[in-house]
Amino acid sequence: MNHSESLSQLLTNADIPHEVIEKVLKASISVSLKRGDEYSLSLEEYGLIFIRSGCLVERLEVTNEVFSSASVWSRGYLLVDSPMHTNRHQHHHNHYYCLFDCELTVLSKAIMTSFNNTELAQLLLNTMIENLHVSHNMALLRSSLDKHTSIKLRLFILFIKNHGTSFPITIDDLCQLTNSTRQYCGNVIKQLVQQQLIVKRYGCIELLDFNGMLNSFNPEIIDFISCYMPINKHW
C-alpha cells in the first residue's frame, strides 16, 4: 500500500467515489493519544483506524492481561481492526500502545458498512490482508534472528517508519517493543553508540550513520524488509 499523508488522499488513490469519501470524513472521529496511552476499540465499535501522525504499537493478548508487542504502525498507515468473534482464542479486540504522540481518524464498522460501497469494502479487505501478511512475515523474520540483531532491527525500522533521524524513545520503550530486559536493550544501545551509529540523548535516540546502520545487517535481512517498506525513500 502507498501510505498517504491523509485519509482523503488514500481513499482517492483507491478510486473511492468522491461522495463516499465525504461521508467517510464526516462520519469519522478524531482521537488524540499521548505517549504511553493505551488504546483499543470495543468489539461493538471496531472498524477503521488511520494514523495521521505518531506511532502505535500493536499489542497481542497472549493470555488474560498479558500482552506481547507485535507490529509497529506509523503515519499514513490504515488499520482495519477486526476481532474474530467465531474463534474463542481471538475473541479479544486489538490493543495499541502509543509510542509517540498520535493523532488518529477512527470510523466504526457499523458506519462503514452503511455506505454500501464496493470499492471501499474492497480497500478495507485488501488492507486487512496486507497488514496480516506484513505482520506475519516480519514476526517470522524476528523469530529467526538472535536477540541482539532483533532489537537493533526494531530500532532501525523505527527510524525508517518515522521518516527521521531522531525520535523520543527510552530504554523502557525499547524493552516493551522488543519484549526484552533493560540490561539486554541497554547493551545493544551501548554497542551502537560505541560504533558511532547512534547517539543517546535525554529521552531520545538519534541516528548518526544511516548507511553504517544499514550495512551492519546481513544483506538478506535488508532485502527482506525492503519488500515491505521503501528504505531508501526517506534518506
42-92: per-residue pLDDT in tens? Answer: 655 668 899 999 999 888 765 555 556 678 899 999 998 765 444 444 445
Report the percentage of the chain scoring pLDDT > 90: 42
- What is the 8-class DSSP label of residue 5? S
Given a cut of 70, is residue 209 above it in pLDDT?
yes
- The pLDDT tens digits of the residues spanning 109-128 come to 778 778 888 898 899 889 98
The answer to whether the beta carbons of residues 100 and 205 sit under 8 Å apart is no
| Short-list 32, 41, 203, CA closest to 108 | 41
Q: Is the pLDDT of residue 213 over 80?
A: yes
- pLDDT band of residue 202 (cuts 50, 70, 90) is confident
Which pairs from 128-136 meet CB under 8 Å and 24+ separation? Answer: 128/80, 128/82, 130/1, 131/71, 131/79, 131/80, 134/71, 134/228, 135/58, 135/70, 135/71
Query: Which domains does the chain possess?
Result: 7-122 (2.60.120.10), 146-225 (1.10.10.10)
In this prediction, residue 4 carries a pLDDT of 58
pLDDT at 232: 66
- What DSSP state is assigned to residue 146? -
Query: Whole-model pTM above 0.85?
Result: no
Output the CA torsion sign for 121, 122, 125, 130: negative
Q: Looking at residue 163, what is its pLDDT?
A: 74
97 within 8 A of 34, measured Cβ to Cβ:
no
Q: What is the residue-averaged pLDDT of the chain? A: 84
CB 94 within 8 A of CB 58: yes
CA dihedral 129, 131, 132, 134 (to 10 degrees): 120
Residue 5, CA atoms < 13 Å, CB-side half-sphere? 0
- Neighbouring-strand partners of residue 92: none
Name the β-bridge partners of 55: 74, 100
Distance CA 209, CA 211 (A): 6
pLDDT of residue 233: 44
Give the residue-averaged pLDDT of 34-46. 78
For residue 66, the tally of other CB atoms under 10 A from its CB is 8
